[in-house]
Amino acid sequence: MIKTSYVSRTIAELKPSGIRRFFDLAANLEGVVSLGVGEPDFVTSWAVREAAINSLEEGYTSYTANAGLFELRSEISWYMEKQFHVSYRPEDQIIVTVGASQALDIALRTILNPGEEVIVVEPCFVAYAPLVTMAGGIPVTVQTSKDDDFKLTPGQLEAAITPKTKAVLICSPNNPTGTQLGQEELVMLADIIKKHDLLVISDEIYAELAYDEKFTSFAAIDGMHERTIVINGFSKGFAMTGWRLGFVCAPKEISEAMLKLHQYAMMCAPTVAQHAALEALRHGMQDVEEMRRSYRRRRNYIVNSFNDMGLDCHNPGGAFYAFPSIEKTGMTSLEFAEKLLTEELVAVVPGDVFGESGEGHIRCSYASSMEQLQEALRRMERFMKNHSQ
């Protein structure tokens, strides 16, 4: 048995992910319909898989440049320009990473001195606060409210800033709320960020999954390019979670510093996945469009069904999560999720795992087939009838 004293205090004190704990429960039950997983139900398109196979047949099995294949970085540069109107040089402003996860990790570890603060906007992806802590920083959480559609307000941001604040970590469209920040909202936040000379780490991993409003990158806002680290990748929009491929775009000074970390800790992202991503960017945008349309249809269906059965649900502008309120049932989100799992065999994620302000909500991923969604919603409707107060 490992003595806790062998483990660093920082790591020993980290709480394990609440999502995992919940899914261990679900894994032991048969017949569960899961709205729990945060990944596309689509298989990566065939052309992309074939490009990976071809790269192996052609013998591309060695390391690439630390920052990634130059061809891929060039394609990412072109993609960022075309889709989001932001310019990054492939030579020194783009690094291909092992998922957006590693991009977040190197971004935080590169910018933080011990004790510096990062504002983390909750509810959010469960890794943010732990990654800040592991980078030696202090996560300062801000709780958004469903009354503001879970959008960070300028007043909340201003109030969270201290002399130790180094950066703000923002995700739009958001996991778990699906909330997307519009251009005007970004401009208002940017004014405060510029006034206090802060950095933004903008997690744009769901940028391709914006359904109603055009997605705006934080780096495209006036005066923000030089103070934004953009995190993106292939997992969500391109249905490539298992390939473990992401990228980070940043001003040269930060990007070159991140590359040192990446080079020592990772060497480079997987070569075969880089060849696949090249094909995804060159010829895969039609597939992305089709997946987006499919998620949009499912979003409309699940949100309407929740509202019809008495679970208030705001309309999420992007990603593939609905985040309905379960407050009316009088249960905590954990009680609701556990009862729903044991009584109706439907797995959802209790909202409090994403932060305090997620309490009273559940995260339901609609990246499942329409049949699965219909079955889950039938069971949830019955559950709501059985528990109506």
Ligand X SMILES: Cc1ncc(COP(=O)(O)O)c(C=O)c1O
Contact residues toward ligand X (CB under 6 A) are: 38, 99-101, 125, 171, 175, 203, 205, 233, 235, 241, 246
- Rounded to the nearest whole angstrom, what is the least distance from the CB of residue 178 to ligand X in the complex? 11
Q: In terms of CB distance, is 178 or 360 closer to ligand X?
A: 178
- Rounded to the nearest whole angstrom, what is the least distance from the CB of residue 129 to ligand X in the complex? 13
- The closest alpha carbon to 219, from 79, 72, 82, 84, belongs to 84
Distances (CA, A) of 147 to 111, 152, 356, 357: 33, 11, 15, 11
- Rounded to the nearest whole angstrom, what is the least distance from the CB of residue 245 to ligand X in the complex? 7
- Rounded to the nearest whole angstrom, what is the least distance from the CB of residue 208 to ligand X in the complex? 12
Q: In terms of CB distance, is 96 or 340 closer to ligand X?
A: 96
Cβ–Cβ contacts within 10 Å for residue 339, how many?
15
Angle between helices 271-283 and 285-308 (to 10 degrees): 80
Please name the amino acid found at residue 143: Q
CA distance 159 to 142: 9
Helix (H/G/I), strand (E/B), else coil: 61: coil
Q: In terms of CB distance, is 103 or 138 closer to ligand X?
A: 103
Q: In terms of CB distance, is 120 or 221 closer to ligand X?
A: 120
Helix (H/G/I), strand (E/B), else coil: 370: helix
Q: In terms of CB distance, is 233 or 355 closer to ligand X?
A: 233
Q: In terms of CB distance, is 249 or 384 closer to ligand X?
A: 249
Return the half-sphere exposure (C-beta side, CA atoms, 13 A cut-off) of residue 341.
24
Do residues 204 and 178 make contact, with C-beta atoms less than 8 angstroms apart? no
- Rounded to the nearest whole angstrom, what is the least distance from the CB of residue 20 to ligand X in the complex? 12
The residue number whose beta carbon is nearest to ligand X equals 99
* 7-11, long-range: CB < 8 A, 24+ apart: 10/133, 10/134, 11/134
- Rounded to the nearest whole angstrom, what is the least distance from the CB of residue 176 to ligand X in the complex? 8
